[in-house]
Each structure stands twice: as C-alpha cells, then as structure tokens.
Amino acid sequence: MSKTAAQVSEQGSRNPHVQQWVDEVASHTQPAEIHWCDGSEEERERLTKLAVDQGILIPLDQEKRPGCYLHRSDPNDVARVEHLTFICSRKKEDAGPTNNWMDPKEAYAKLGALFAGSMKGRTMYVIPYAMGPIGSPYAKIGVEITDSVYVVLNMRIMTRMGQTALDMLGDSNDFNRGLHSTLDLDPNKRFICHFPEDNTIWSCGSGYGGNVLLGKKCLALRIGSYLGKSEGWFAEHMLILGVENPKGETTYVAAAFPSACGKTNFAMMIPPKQFAGWKIWTVGDDISWMRVGPDGRLWAINPESGYFGVAPGTSKKSNPNALACVEKNTLFTNVGMTPDGDVWWEGMDGAPPAELTDWQGRPWKAGSKEKAAHPNSRFTAPMRNNPVLSPKANEPEGVPISAIIFGGRRSTTVPLVLESFNWAHGVYLGATMGSETTAAATGQVGVVRRDPMAMLPFCGYDMGDYFTHWLAMQSRIANPPRIFQVNWFRQGSGGEFLWPGFGENMRVLEWIVNRAAGKAGARETPLGWVPERGQINLDGIDVSEETMDHLTEIDREAWKKEFDLQEELFEKLQATMPRALILQRELLRSRL
C-alpha cells in the first residue's frame, strides 16, 4: 500500500492513453498514492475495512444484513444539484436553453484551480468501468478518477468495474475521462461539468450519488445522449422490463418517469394475484440505451449493473423485490439506523421503532416531526440480488422494445393511461410531459415543471435538437414500439391517490402490452386512445367504474390550462423546436 505513486502507476493499466491521463491528473492533484481498482473481492474487503476505519461506512448487523453498510453524507450534500450542473459545449447554443452552460475554457480553468493539489495526503483511485454488458457492442468504457472510497465501492456495484473493463478497452483511446474530487464539500466549490466534445466529465465538491458516480447520470445520460444524437441511438432515463404472460410470451417495455416517480417500483413489481401466470422481469431500473436492430426493432440494454434506489416508501407491500435486493451486500446512504444495527425509513412495514439514530446521526424518537431517513435516502444494491432479474439483463444485444411509456407525477389533469396516435404524437406526449418536482434534486418539492421525457436534468445538448433526433429516428425504425403515457399519481379531493399503484399498475400494463400486440380495444379522445370501460381489469381492487371514469376523464377546461403551460416550453425552445411538434400542438388545439 505504501508504494510511491509512480511505482503503483507503472504496474497498472498497460493502456497508454489511460496511463498518460492518470499521470497528468496525478501530477495536478498530487495524491499521496494511486490505487488502480481491479474489481476483485479482496479489493472490496480491503477498501470496505478502510472506509469503516475512517468512519465513512458504519457496519450494520452482519448477521441480519451481511455485507451491508450505512453511509451518512454531509447534510448539505444529499441530492443532485441541477443549478451547479453544466454542459460545457464549445458553443453555448449547443447546450440549449434548458441547460446551464459554461465555456469549456473557463470550466477547465475554474475547476482545474480547485483540483490543483486537491488529493494531497489522500489516495487517488482509478476506476476503469464498463457501462453495458461486458462484450456488448453497445457498451461504453469510462475511467473515473476519484479521491472517494465511497465512490469506488458504489461504482463497484453500479458498473462492471476493474480489470474486466480495462481488458475490454484494450489499447483504444475511446473512453470517457471522469475526474472527481470531494474537496471540502463547500457548496461554493461544487460543480458538475460535462464536456461532450471531449468525452470528459469533471465533478468536484460533492459526494452524492448522481453528482459523483460518473458512469450514471453524467456518462450514461448527459454524455450518452450527446453520443446517441451523433451516432443514431437513444440514451434515456428509462427502466426496462419484460412482461411474461401465462403463455410464456415476454414483451419488453421501456418507461421514462422523472426522478423518484416510480421507475424502480415499476421495473420490479409483483403482479396482483388476479394475474396468475403473469411475471415481471427487471432488465433495468433507471437507464436505457436503445439502438435499431437488424430486424428494424428498437433494442435496449441497461448500462448499469446495480440499483441506486430511493429508500423511503419501499416496503413489503409496495416493493418486496427491492427489499430482497437490499438484504445483503448493499450500501445505504442517509437512512435511519435502529439500535440493533438495522436500517429504517419512512414507509417501511410496521410501526416505527421507538428509538432510532436518524440520517444525520442524531437520536430520534417515534412520533418525532423530523424524518428519520432523508426523503432522498438511497440504497445501492447489486442487480444480481433481484429475485426477478431478467435472464436477459446481461444479454449483449439487449431486448426488443414493444412499447415506450412516458409518465409524470401529476395530481390533476393527466389521465391514468393513454396511447398516442402515432410516433410523432408520441414524441409530442413525451416532450410536453409535466411532473411535480421531488427530493431527488435540491430545490422546492412538489411544483409542476415541464420535464420532457424525464430528461430535463439529463439531456447533454439542446432539447429542441433532442426532439428532432427522436422524430428523425422514426425513419430508421421499421418496426417502432407504440408510445403511451401514464400517470399513477392523480388525487381525489381529499388528496388521496385515486389509483392504488405499485403492483396494481400491472392492470394498466396488461392493456399496454395488449395494445402493442394489436389485441385490445380503445376509445379515441382529443389526447389519444384510452381504454374503454371494462378494458382495465379491476377484479379484486377497490376502484369503482366511476373512479375509473374520473381517472381516464379528460377535463377540457383543465386541458386548456395545461395547453397554455406547455406554451412556456415551446417559447423557451423556439429556436430549435421542430416544426413537426409545433404542428402536433396545432392539431391538439383544434381537437380540444
């Protein structure tokens, strides 16, 4: 462990490009030592012990939760920071009006000054990783340099990390260069910068997941979407699941819901007992990379290998498979801890324990007004723990997608489910999607904002150009998936959810896969096709046909207001908004 930086570095990667870059970064950040991550079990054990010794990880009861640890982040560093996230394209227009932009020269200078000497006395970790199954023609390689052992241990779960990724890279110079330094967690020195033209990410001043696990939102979505545009594919904030029917036929679906709006839950749901013989298989819970296959269909891979999931609300009732995922080898961030070394969060089964340690390490008592777990507390769990992991999750070619679903969190206006009239209309539905903000990003929670295709915080280039890309792909997809919109979050007058959600979403999904197979009836409305009365199986749930009518109703007055709210997005993006979407808007106006 006490070798000099140069010695250790020499034994590391033989890839000359990685080597040269690591040397450059080391001479700039001046770490005490350099550790090349090999991804081995021995390495995990050693680094975990180190993290425990340094107080970065707290061991949980190893009998109850083998291999599980708790991490408490700095209370000012618990979510993504959209206002400190920048797209540093050479031209400002290329970032577009929905992204923060910084001149790349300025960004390199500003962050370069913060990185100078920032790893003095610390270990610099070099993490080679693959996004996508090893050997997949669609996978991409990244190398993240970080001074955080927490990042290393999380990346080990979330990506295929270590020697295997270096082997896949070979001598190529085609890899993402990601640099992260924790600094002193001063929010004034927190910047998440993306340089799409350089395939580079620089992140400093944070230790929170989405800001620092650079393979995830930074590479797989922001840089990925930019690459997707130039190379002709999609990088999307979508879960991927397989729905198996009682005949054993599996249909694959991809769904984009904004952060903390139900992707993990939907991706691993258990169908209700009325759906005997139906099964859901998880391919991915957050990100989908999709390409056109030789058969003219859209094929999707999940670039990740773990789940960085929202803890609060996860229970035996809502998501038993997620609970199974976190039984072992899981890192918990900012949840509560019970006196016997287990975890707890709001919305878990049963009554809260009388006493706890809260997410900030303070004593907490049942009945306290403060939350024991932070609303954006998370678990990092390996996907192999998932009892319903799809047998295709590691398939290099991915799975063929038959339906794409867009969904937001809307307490009013937006119906439970509808199907678009065609591809361009489906793109319009995704593009104009609104959703109430959540705790996944810092800022006000619960305000409706436009979140096109759940990609507002994650599109690495101009959003109007992104819509153009979606429209242009149609001509390349001979057998396109059908496009749907859903809303699980409509509320009644007392603020209660009208739709039971979670596993019961299977009832809506059944209609969707049947429609995608051309097998279910529908009624035309100004917004799209909706299920006819009786088309959604309501056996065994307490949802009356009247509530169902309300859930699928289209209130023209509310929709006129919604139509005006969408105008803001069209105005903001007027420079590049594709004509086809302006036409869709005109068509909707006339239908309304």
Among ligand SPV, Mn ion, ligand GTP, none, what binds residue 318 when CB lies within 5 to 8 Å by partner kind?
A: ligand GTP
Residue whose CB is less far from ligand SPV, 217 or 392: 217
Strands (E), 183-287: 191-195, 200-204, 234-236, 239-244, 250-256, 279-284
What the block records as the tokens of 326 is 């976190």
Among 15, 250, 505, 584, binds ligand GTP (CB under 6 A): 505
37, 68, 204, 261: which is the annotated catalytic residue? 261
Residue whose CB is less far from ligand GTP, 12 or 312: 312
Q: 């550790």: which residue's tokens?
A: 35
Minimum CB separation of residue 395 from ligand GTP in Å reads 22
Among Mn ion, ligand SPV, ligand GTP, none, what binds residue 219 when CB lies within 5 to 8 Å by partner kind?
A: none
Q: Are 247 and 481 in contact (CB under 8 A)?
A: no
448 CB-side CA count, 13 A = 17
Query: Nearest to ligand SPV by Cβ — which residue?
Result: 210
Q: What is the rounded CA–CA span in Å between residue 589 and residue 583?
A: 10
Minimum CB separation of residue 270 from ligand GTP in Å reads 13
* Helix (H) or strand (E) run with residue 114 in it: helix 104-115
Among ligand SPV, Mn ion, ligand GTP, none, what binds residue 209 when CB lies within 5 to 8 Å by partner kind?
A: ligand SPV
Residue whose CB is less far from ligand SPV, 302 or 357: 302
Minimum CB separation of residue 326 from ligand GTP in Å reads 12
Q: What is the rounded CA–CA span in Å between residue 236 and residue 112?
A: 30
Minimum CB separation of residue 489 from ligand GTP in Å reads 6
Minimum CB separation of residue 171 from ligand GTP in Å reads 36
Three-class SS state of 202: strand
Q: Which of 435, 445, 438 has its CA nearest to residue 414?
A: 435
Q: Is 489 in the site for ligand GTP (CB under 6 A)?
A: yes
Give residues 423-442 in contact with ligand GTP (rule: CB under 6 A): 440
Minimum CB separation of residue 259 from ligand SPV in Å reads 3
Q: Which of 538, 525, 534, 427 has its CA nearest to residue 484?
A: 427
Helices (H) and strands (E) in the chain, counts: 17, 31
Residue whose CB is less far from ligand SPV, 285 or 419: 285
Residue whose CB is less far from ligand SPV, 118 or 211: 211
The values of phi and psi at residue 123, to 5°, are: -90, 135
Rg of the chain's alpha carbons, rounded to an integer? Answer: 23
Q: What is the rounded CA–CA span in Å between residue 43 and residue 156?
A: 10
Q: Is 310 in the site for ligand GTP (CB under 6 A)?
A: yes
Q: Are 418 and 527 in contact (CB under 8 A)?
A: yes
Give the number of other Cβ atoms within 10 Å of residue 351's Cβ. Answer: 7
Residue whose CB is less far from ligand SPV, 25 or 239: 239
The values of phi and psi at residue 213, to 5°, are: -85, 85
What the block records as the tokens of 107 is 């960004």
Minimum CB separation of residue 286 from Mn ion in Å reads 4
Q: Is 293 in the site for ligand GTP (CB under 6 A)?
A: no
Q: Cα dist. 219→303, 379, 398 in Å?
A: 10, 20, 19
Minimum CB separation of residue 312 from ligand GTP in Å reads 6
Among ligand SPV, Mn ion, ligand GTP, none, what binds residue 505 when CB lies within 5 to 8 Å by partner kind?
A: ligand GTP
Minimum CB separation of residue 459 from ligand SPV in Å reads 13
Three-class SS state of 313: coil
Three-class SS state of 143: strand
The contact set with ligand SPV (CB under 6 A) reads 80, 209-210, 216-217, 259, 286, 308, 440
Q: At what angle do helices 41-53 and 149-158 cross, to 10 degrees?
A: 140
Q: Which of 520, 455, 341, 394 has its CA nearest to residue 134?
A: 394
Residue whose CB is less far from ligand SPV, 275 or 359: 359
The contact set with Mn ion (CB under 5 A) reads 259, 286
Q: What is the rounded CA–CA span in Å between residue 252 and residue 393?
A: 12
Among ligand SPV, Mn ion, ligand GTP, none, what binds residue 265 when CB lies within 5 to 8 Å by partner kind?
A: ligand GTP
Residue whose CB is less far from Mn ion, 259 or 394: 259
Site string for ligand GTP, 208-247 (x = CB under 6 A): ----------------------------------------
Q: What is the rounded CA–CA span in Å between residue 256 and residue 486?
A: 10
Q: Are 554 and 569 in contact (CB under 8 A)?
A: no
| DSSP-H helix ranges across 432-481 | 463-473
Among ligand GTP, Mn ion, ligand SPV, none, what binds residue 168 when CB lies within 5 to 8 Å by partner kind?
A: none
Give residues 252-281 in contact with ligand GTP (rule: CB under 6 A): 257, 259-265
Q: Is 443 in the site for ligand GTP (CB under 6 A)?
A: no
Among 245, 318, 368, 537, binds ligand GTP (CB under 6 A): 318
- For residue 218, indicate whether it is catalytic: no
Query: Nearest to ligand GTP by Cβ — which residue?
Result: 501
What's the one-letter identity of residue 496? E
CA quadruple 111, 116, 122, 124: dihedral positive or negative?
positive
Residue whose CB is less far from ligand GTP, 98 or 376: 376
What is the binding site for ligand GTP (CB under 6 A)?
Answer: 257, 259-265, 285-286, 309-310, 312-313, 318, 440, 488-489, 497, 501-502, 505
Enumerate the active-site residues: 261
